[in-house]
Amino acid sequence: MAASAQHASKFTRYLHSETGPKTVHFWAPVLKWCLVIAGFNDLQRPVEKISGTQQVALFATGAIWTRWAGFVIKPRNFLLASVNFFLGGVAGYQIYRLADYRVKAGDSPAQVFNYIVSGSSDTPEPATNTEPTTK
């Protein structure tokens, strides 16, 4: 009986803590896991359909907020730090996939960087004639 009362008190303390399930500090990271799950699903998507700028933004968000949530802000929110760590990891892997795809296509490192950051390579697209011809 004493053991169950001790567990109940730990649960009650967690329930009412600053990062417990009654706060936004719990539910925001829980919902942010949807981004990580979507990133895992995008691993099956063809690499040419992946947005480099989106992946860079997700990687930066994951890296910055992992540090802040785990080490800087008080109270430390390890749930938020863990979701951001995985978010950055998935986005980093997608950036690797994009870079590897472009290198295998024959792009230089500068072209790969330009493709990831701006979505276009240095090589111009074939021009199409949109002007009507008159005779």
| Cβ atoms within 10 Å of 121's Cβ, excluding its own | 16
Q: Each residue of 95-114: pLDDT tens digit?
A: 999 999 999 999 999 999 99
66 has a pLDDT exceeding 50: yes
The residue-averaged pLDDT of 63-78 equals 88
Residue type, 1: M
Residue 20 has pLDDT above 70, yes or no: yes
Mean predicted confidence (pLDDT) in 109-132 = 69
Identity (one letter) of the amino acid at 71? F
Q: What is each CA distance from 54 to 12, 39, 94, 135, in whole angstroms?
A: 40, 11, 10, 47
**Domain range summary for the chain, segments of one domain joined by +:** 48-120
| 92 vs 30, residue with greater confidence | 92
pLDDT on residue 23: 74
Whole-structure pTM value: 0.73
Q: pLDDT band at residue 122, thresholds of 50, 70 and 90?
A: low
